[in-house]
Copies of this chain bind each other. A is one copy, B any other.
Amino acid sequence: MLDIIVEVFNDHGYEAATLELIAKRLGLSKSAVYHHFTSKAEMLELALDQVLGALEAVFEAPEALEGSALERTRFVVRGAVRVACEQRSRLTLLLRLRGNSEVELQAMQRRRAFDARLRRIFELSLEEGTLRFDIDPGLAERFTFGLINSIVEWYRPEGDLRPDQLAEAVLLFMRGGLRPEGMAILP
């Protein structure tokens, strides 16, 4: 039920999604929908909590807190890619929030914590010598999340690419780039 609502939210944006359309897609009347949720904001809150919880579980797992920065990077990237694939709709919703309500603002704050955590891991990676010195750790974090978050724009679970295969491709790209092995970056 919530999955269908999230689809409507994504089709129009949370603000522009109307209860009439939600009710229609659920095959119910508007007032029947209000029997299950107290408000539109509550629907949003429940949906966001699922994907935020999944991401928090990744970043709070022992493998994300212990070991070398490189190992921790690999773990959180794999976890974030998995969540992006498995909770595509809900992550899309999260990524497109605009912060015009209390629920949105709190979700955005929880999301920003992931950015800070990954950035910290990259800072440690630079110290341990596993991050190239000519890319800023903050930029590395933004590139990495930019890459992972963009997965929701095109990934389809019914396709050939499995989440773990995609995660390995993301890791290959972010660690080694697109050039063939042995080729110089420049010129």
Residues of A bordering B, CB below 8 Å: 10-13, 15-16, 96, 98, 100, 125, 129-136, 139-140, 142-147, 149-151, 153-154, 169-170, 172-181, 183, 185
Contacts and interface: CB of A to CB of B under 8 A. Distances in A.
A96 B178 CA distance: 27
B129 A142 contact: no
A160 to B, nearest CB: 10
Identical chains bound together, number: 2
Given A143-B147, A149-B150, A179-B130, A135 B12 contact: no
Contacts of A185: 172, 175-176
Nearest to A99: B11
A129 B179 CA distance: 9
B173 A177 contact: yes
Contact of A140 (B135, B153, B178): B178
A129 B175 contact: no
Given A11-B98, A98-B11, A146-B151, A135 B175 contact: no
Contact of A147 (B11, B134, B150, B180): B150
A23 to B, nearest CB: 18
A83 to B, nearest CB: 16
